[in-house]
Amino acid sequence: MPSSNLANLLKLPADERAELAMALWDSLTDQERESELEPSPDQKAELDRRWAEHLANPECAIPWEEVRRKLRDGQ
């Protein structure tokens, strides 16, 4: 997509951008979604590492609400 088209789409109001995003997502077949969103081997290894870390120390998990607050507050 030429950058001018993307720039114009990004100027749409939030509700229209969200509607467009959902329409694009819905236009993908299950096979396209699976093939395009398949994690790389490095990403899979990192996910496995993090899962193992969580299983070993579940009390170290940070609730989503706290993560979200820190992101919002810039901490």
| Domain spans, the chain | 1-38, 39-75
Q: What is the pLDDT of residue 36?
A: 86
Residue 1 has pLDDT above 60, yes or no: no
Alpha helices by DSSP H, listed for the chain, are 3-10, 14-27, 30-37, 41-56, 64-73
Q: Each residue of 7-55: pLDDT tens digit? A: 999 999 999 999 999 999 999 999 998 888 889 999 999 999 999 999 9
pTM: 0.51
d(CA 58, CA 42): 23
Q: How far is Cα 67 from Cα 62, in angstroms, rounded to an integer?
A: 7
pLDDT for position 41: 94
CA gap 5, 9 in Å, rounded: 6
pLDDT at res. 4: 87
